[in-house]
Structure 1
Amino acid sequence: MSIPTPVERKLAHTRTVSFQGFERSDGLWDIEAEMMDTKPFAFDLSDRHRLEAGQPVHHMHIRITIDHRLIVQDIHTSMQAYPHSVCIKADQHMRKMIGCTMMKGWRKSIETHLGGIEGCTHMRELLFNMATAAFQTLAPKALASYRTPSENPNRPPPPHLGGCMTWDFKGPTVKAIYPVYFDWPNRTK
């Protein structure tokens, strides 16, 4: 199903965001994010030159290296386009994220280390969503063992179960894919 046809309009802004996950030969994983903002018209910035139509207002990259537990081992950033000269300093605190987990508490860690004037709004936004990209990257290998009964009958379920309507513990998807966790924690042992 598509969304309704809009009223007559003209393009004012485009933000392109991409995430990629890579399995490395050393057993670690790289999660990369890229964001670019452009406008379809020329305009003047407050402390820099004129930007021509299609020239990036923002163009940023982040690479996070994680282990199989989604703990940040390393982080690198690049700001190739930014609207104000002081923006180039915005990534100076990014290495504070080394040692943080991309599991529960990820957003809080980002706000603690890079919140407010400690960082860049756009880089924080990329970081927030990099956790989902990391989970999707590692999921096929990391979650395979959850589909069969464990030697530990009280083993906690995978972290995504119970997180949305599709992964409802009482729903058909959990029953079909993770039957050992169907109706968790009310199931009969």
Structure 2
Amino acid sequence: MRERLHTRSIEFNGYRRDDGLWDIEAELRDLRHYDTLTPGKGLLPAGQPVHHMAITLTLNDEFVVQDVSAKMLSTPFGMCMEIQDSLKPLVGARIGYGWRKAISERIGGVQSCTHLRELLVNMATAALQTIPIWHVQQRKKQGLPPSDERPHYLGQCHSWRLDGPVVLQHHPRFHQPQTTPPQQETP
């Protein structure tokens, strides 16, 4: 037997905008499945969110942040609302290598909220699932050849390893056959 006590749900969505930009949205909810006494709100009935936060990150095709906003829909303390606009220093940062560092440097520690930072880190994956994949699909629909650029996901997981059969089949020009060191003879 076990009793469900806590649920954290996180949802990411990617949108293409009419102006050529992209919105990546993230939403987090923490629910307790029992009545909880909280220091900031008193009694929180079962099923009411302790945390409910949302972020919209607007990016261009180069993954540079054009705008960012957060909504603090439910927080344990009223003062959490004070940092609702704390993400603006991320405007101009680029999702890619160094994204975590940019988050930490620009809105780390008490400058923002740990939950918002957690969402931002993972919004990078949602952006990479949204923007380049859409462009690849558009090229395919138009009958254009694949881009000459190496896809960002190659070499980043077991299936997409550079010496593997998936890369050989789908991206043969980036395939790097495994080289085995010569075996030494034993006396």
CA deviation profile, 1:18-66 (whole Å, cap 9, x unmatched): 0000000110000000000110111111132310000110000100010
Secondary structure of the 1:80 match is strand
Residue 5 of structure 1 is matched in structure 2 by none
Kept in 2, the 8 Å contact 1:33–1:62? The answer is yes
Residue 51 of structure 1 is matched in structure 2 by 44
CA deviation profile, 1:72-103 (whole Å, cap 9, x unmatched): 10011100100012211233320001011111
1-structure distance, mates of 2:162, 2:135: 19
- 1:115 aligns to 2:108 (yes or no): yes
Displacement after TM superposition at 1:11 (Å): 0.5
Residue 4 of structure 1 is matched in structure 2 by none
Residue 7 of structure 2 is matched in structure 1 by 14
- 1:65 aligns to 2:87 (yes or no): no
Unmatched tracts of structure 1, length 5 or more: 1-7
Kept in 1, the 8 Å contact 2:54–2:72? The answer is yes
Kept in 1, the 8 Å contact 2:136–2:146? The answer is no
Residue 124 of structure 1 is matched in structure 2 by 117
Cα-Cα RMSD: 2.0
The ranges of structure 1 where at least 4 consecutive aligned residues each deviate by more than 3 angstroms after the TM superposition are 141-145, 147-150
CA deviation profile, 1:135-166 (whole Å, cap 9, x unmatched): 10113234467x7474xxxx5x2221111111
Residue 19 of structure 2 is matched in structure 1 by 26
1-structure distance, mates of 2:74, 2:98: 30
Unmatched tracts of structure 2, length 5 or more: 140-144, 180-187
Give TM-score scaled by structure 2 length: 0.86
Displacement after TM superposition at 1:167 (Å): 1.2
Aligned-pair identity (%) = 38
The range that moved more, 107-116 or 127-136, is 107-116
Residue 69 of structure 2 is matched in structure 1 by 76
- 1:140 aligns to 2:133 (yes or no): yes
C-alpha spacing 1:149/1:22, structure 2 compared with 1 (3 Å) = closer
How many residues align? The count is 173
